[in-house]
Amino acid sequence: MPLKSICIAGALTLGISLGAANLAVAQEKTAPASDNTKVNKRDRNKAEPTADRAKDNVNDRDIMAKIRRSLMDDKALSTYAHNVKIVSKQGKVTLKGPVRSEDEKKTVAAKATEVAGAGNVTDELTVKPDKSKDKS
Q: What integer pLDDT is reported at residue 2 of this predicted model? A: 66
For residues 50, 51, 54, 57, the Cα torsion angle rounded to the nearest 10 degrees is: 170
pLDDT in tens, 37-74: 565 565 666 666 666 656 578 899 999 999 999 999 99
Q: What integer pLDDT is reported at residue 130 of this predicted model? A: 77
Q: How far is CA 24 from the centre of its chain?
A: 22
In the 8-state DSSP scheme, what is residue 53?
A: G
Residues whose CB falls within 8 Å of the CB of residue 89, separated by 6 or more in sequence, listed in order: 49, 53, 54, 55, 60
Closest CA to 4 of 80, 127, 12, 57: 12
What's the mean pLDDT in 4-13? Answer: 65
pLDDT in tens, 93-116: 999 999 999 999 999 999 999 999
Backbone angles phi, psi at 90, to 5 degrees: 55, 40
Please determine, for residue 133, whether its predicted confidence score (pLDDT) is greater than 70.
no
Q: What integer pLDDT is reported at residue 53 of this predicted model? A: 57
